[in-house]
Amino acid sequence: MGLTPIWHLRESAPDAEQAPAADMPARNESRVTSHESPQPATGDRRAEIMSLEWAQLKQRVAGCRDCPLHAKRNKAVFGVGDENADWLFVGEGPGADEDAQGEPFVGQAGRLLDNMLAAIKLKRGDNVYIANCVKCRPPGNRNPEPGELLACEPYLHRQIDLIRPKLIVALGKVAAANLLATDASVASMRGKIHQYRGTPLIVTYHPAYLLRTLPDKAKAWADLCFAVRTMQELSKA
């Protein structure tokens, strides 16, 4: 199978478990510890970010120096898509291509994500918004550190408040673990409706992981089918 397989939506998703919704607590507010320069107290900073409208928020992220990731980034990667989308896909953080272009999921994993979207008749920018947990690239594609995730979280939180998506799809372990404040495996989080600050959230594998682990693509299929069914239910409600 090539790097850009065409995905087709199947009628049914045989191995998508339909476990009952598990209400997860929202993350606790806690302190950002990784600032290099004096910053307002965490609560003040969050409140300030939560007051921003789109244009100001984009500007704030573009110039943000609130965690160590700012030092080596080329471009902060704000997020892209329909600002009134029903669907929000959240990855971990920018890689090299994203850092160069300033747009999320534009490398190989991004092509697979676009194919995954196409398989459920969605496309980037049309009822879909794509964002990451951290807006600046972790050097060498390492995982973002807890302090970096924490520092960047108010931006995603504000994006979600502005977009008001019906459903969030967390892509991969880092995004899911961060949003749900848990250390659980993707395998254990799949097939359930979680909540992120009151918005339904489902978990699937990261496209970069799927590129390395082809056998799990069938599971990602099932997750996409589950996501579509969940969206149908949410749209009825």
Minimum CB distance to ligand SF4 smaller for 39 or for 182:
39
Q: Which two tokens stand for residue 65?
A: 């120096």
Residue 138 within binding range of ligand URA, rule CB under 6 A: no
User: Where do contacts with ligand SF4 occur on this chain (CB under 6 A)?
Assistant: 61, 64-67, 69-70, 76, 134-136, 148, 151-152
Question: Taking contact as CB under 6 A, which single stretch among the options 15-23, 61-69, 102-110, 191-199 is the one that binds ligand URA?
Answer: 102-110
Nearest approach, Cβ of residue 19 and ligand URA (Å): 25
Nearest approach, Cβ of residue 28 and ligand URA (Å): 24
Nearest approach, Cβ of residue 162 and ligand URA (Å): 19
Minimum CB distance to ligand URA smaller for 95 or for 154:
95
Per DSSP, what are the bridge partners of residue 80? 130
Minimum CB distance to ligand SF4 smaller for 110 or for 138:
138
Nearest approach, Cβ of residue 179 and ligand URA (Å): 13
Report CA 106 to chain centroid distance, whole Å. 14
Task: Choose, by CB under 6 A, the member of 57, 85, 112, 132 that binds ligand URA.
Answer: 132
Nearest approach, Cβ of residue 226 and ligand URA (Å): 21
Nearest approach, Cβ of residue 174 and ligand SF4 (Å): 13
Amino acid at 44: D
Can you tell me the distance from the alpha carbon of 84 to that of 28, in angstroms, rounded to the nearest whole number? Answer: 27
Q: Which two tokens stand for residue 109?
A: 């994993």
Residue 95 within binding range of ligand URA, rule CB under 6 A: yes
Binding residues among 171-200 for ligand URA as defined by CB under 6 A: none
Residue 154 within binding range of ligand URA, rule CB under 6 A: no
Residue 81 within binding range of ligand URA, rule CB under 6 A: no
Can you tell me the distance from the alpha carbon of 233 to that of 152, in angstroms, rounded to the nearest whole number? Answer: 31
Residue 116 within binding range of ligand URA, rule CB under 6 A: no
Chain residues in the site for ligand URA (CB under 6 A): 91-95, 98, 104-105, 109-110, 132, 208
